[in-house]
């Protein structure tokens, strides 16, 4: 079992029109580079078998060729060559439900290589002969202790000392903020009203805001709470969208963009071109990179005006579907065999239980041809999470030997969750995808 990706997606549709926004577009995207940067051999015992693996720094490359250093937080899963990765929060990764372990991993990341250079790390750890390979593999082994619950021990003596030092010193830190998010990812309302609020959260100094072509043609504007048009925002700001009074039903999208340094400790889930899920990673070092986020807009002069979203809840083992109705008539939809009515001005959330490692296909059907379909595979747990605490490994492996953890086809690490959200209307069909993992190592 493995980590789910972040939010599944969201979308809305009314009377033959449709709009959608995928949460996978929120934040930073990057592609996995092949191989490991600085590495070494790590041994551990799992369920009575001695295993061997190469651990170290894996790298992601953004669209503007910036490099992000990462470590693995999903020991028993393989990477996929050239997999596409998306930034996500801890609750939508294999760190879900493990705030203590996740917080200690963050401490390790902030107090080890590459956040500290070799001279700094040698000084803080008192390990004089530490090399870059030692620093990387020692850090990775310490992370696996908290992420996967295995007693991972590097072969190299200095790397082993570093692992022990980091494990002993680690204390819980709070989860870092996302690079860029717009929350919620879908809003609706009557023509002439302010649609929102939409809260901006970012590490960037400023966020550029723009409407898509549909929004521009319909005469929409992006505003602040007072209705004043805005083109930029900063973290903590609340923005709105406004359609002309009396405007016909329609849909559009707000897109926000920025350049910011991704916070160390942010998780990344991946999937390749064949929708095969690639191991979950955690950020160890970065530089300013592009980030984007979108919000779906839906408006009408009267009637039900819904916004429907879905979110994977790894702690509950469910996909939570949330419907909001900003219209003046009930919005009634069917979901998993039950009928749900959202009154004007109301919001209802429906958790749909999904078995671990099981594919799901959740359909929301409503009036005027409304249909929202959420597909994916729920993978929220690491394979080692339910295993007995392993014993310290011996000097040589006696059981199956695992291959490198790097980004090639022979690697033993994987994570995330893939899926698609399809929102179909009388006039349009939009597909939303969320990334992650559906295969086992």
DSSP state of 4: -
pLDDT per residue as tens, the chain (441 positions): 333 333 343 333 333 333 333 333 468 899 999 989 899 999 998 888 899 999 999 999 998 999 999 999 988 888 889 888 988 889 878 898 899 999 999 999 999 999 999 999 999 999 999 999 999 999 999 999 999 999 999 999 999 999 999 999 999 999 999 999 999 988 999 999 999 999 999 999 999 999 999 999 999 999 999 999 999 999 999 999 999 999 999 889 999 999 999 999 999 988 777 767 788 899 999 889 999 999 989 899 999 998 888 888 887 888 899 999 999 999 999 998 889 999 999 999 999 998 765 667 888 888 776 777 777 666 677 765 444 333 333 333 333 333 345 433 333 333 332 333 333 333 333 333 333 332 333
Q: Give pLDDT tens digits for 246-289.
A: 999 988 999 999 999 999 999 998 877 776 778 889 999 988 99
* Residue 337: predicted pLDDT: 85
Residues 6 or more apart from 98 whose CB is under 8 A from it?
A: 90, 146, 147
* Residue 91: predicted pLDDT: 85
Q: Give pLDDT tens digits for 350-400.
A: 999 987 656 678 888 887 767 777 776 666 777 654 443 333 333 333 333
3-class DSSP state of 158: helix
Q: Give pLDDT tens digits for 17-35.
A: 333 333 334 688 999 999 8
* Residue 48: predicted pLDDT: 83
- The alpha-carbon radius of gyration of the chain (Å, integer) is 23
Q: How many CB atoms lie within 10 A of CB 437?
A: 33
Question: Could you tell me which of 294, 316, 296 has the C-alpha nearest to residue 381?
Answer: 316
* Residue 298: predicted pLDDT: 87
Q: How far apart are CA 143 and CA 165, in angstroms?
A: 12
> Is the pTM of the predicted complex or chain greater than 0.85?
no
* Structure-block tokens of residue 60: 């992601």
């Amino acid at each position: 079992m493995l980590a789910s990706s972040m939010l599944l997606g969201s979308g809305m549709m009314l009377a033959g029109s449709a709009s959608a926004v995928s949460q996978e577009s929120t934040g930073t995207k990057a592609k996995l580079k092949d191989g490991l940067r600085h590495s070494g051999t790590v041994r551990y015992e799992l369920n009575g078998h001695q295993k061997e693996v190469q651990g170290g720094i894996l790298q992601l490359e953004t669209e503007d060729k910036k490099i992000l250093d990462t470590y693995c937080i999903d020991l028993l899963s393989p990477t996929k060559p050239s997999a596409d990765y998306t930034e996500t929060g801890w609750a939508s990764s294999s760190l879900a439900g493990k705030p203590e372990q996740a917080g200690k991993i963050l401490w390790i990341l902030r107090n080890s290589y590459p956040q500290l250079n070799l001279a700094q790390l040698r000084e803080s750890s008192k390990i004089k002969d530490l090399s870059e390979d030692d620093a990387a593999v020692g850090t990775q082994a310490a992370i696996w202790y908290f992420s996967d619950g295995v007693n991972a021990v590097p072969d190299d003596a200095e790397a082993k000392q570093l692992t022990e030092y980091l494990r002993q010193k680690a204390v819980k830190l709070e989860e870092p903020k996302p690079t860029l998010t717009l929350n919620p990812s879908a809003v609706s309302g009557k023509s002439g009203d302010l649609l929102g609020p939409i809260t901006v959260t970012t590490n960037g100094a400023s966020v550029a805001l723009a409407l898509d072509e549909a929004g521009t043609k319909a005469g929409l504007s992006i505003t602040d709470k007072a209705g004043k048009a805005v083109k930029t925002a900063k973290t903590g700001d609340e923005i709105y969208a406004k359609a002309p009074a009396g405007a016909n039903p329609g849909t559009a999208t707000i897109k926000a963009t920025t350049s910011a340094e991704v916070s160390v400790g942010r998780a990344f889930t991946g999937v390749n071109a064949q929708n095969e899920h690639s191991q979950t990673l955690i950020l160890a070092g970065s530089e300013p990179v592009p980030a984007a986020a979108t919000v779906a807009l839906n408006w009408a002069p009267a009637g039900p005006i819904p916004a429907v979203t879905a979110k994977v809840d790894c702690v509950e083992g469910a996909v939570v579907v949330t419907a909001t109705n900003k219209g003046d008539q009930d919005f009634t939809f069917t979901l998993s065999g039950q009928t749900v009515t959202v009154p004007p001005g109301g919001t209802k959330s429906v958790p749909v239980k999904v078995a671990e490692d099981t594919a799901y296909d959740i359909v929301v059907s409503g009036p005027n041809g409304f249909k929202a379909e959420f597909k994916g595979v729920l993978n929220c747990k690491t394979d080692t999470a339910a295993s007995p605490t392993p014993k310290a490994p011996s000097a040589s492996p006696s059981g199956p030997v695992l291959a490198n953890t790097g980004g090639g086809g022979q690697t033993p690490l994987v994570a995330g969750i893939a899926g698609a959200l399809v929102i179909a209307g009388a006039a349009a069909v939009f597909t939303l995808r969320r990334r992650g993992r559906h295969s086992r190592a």
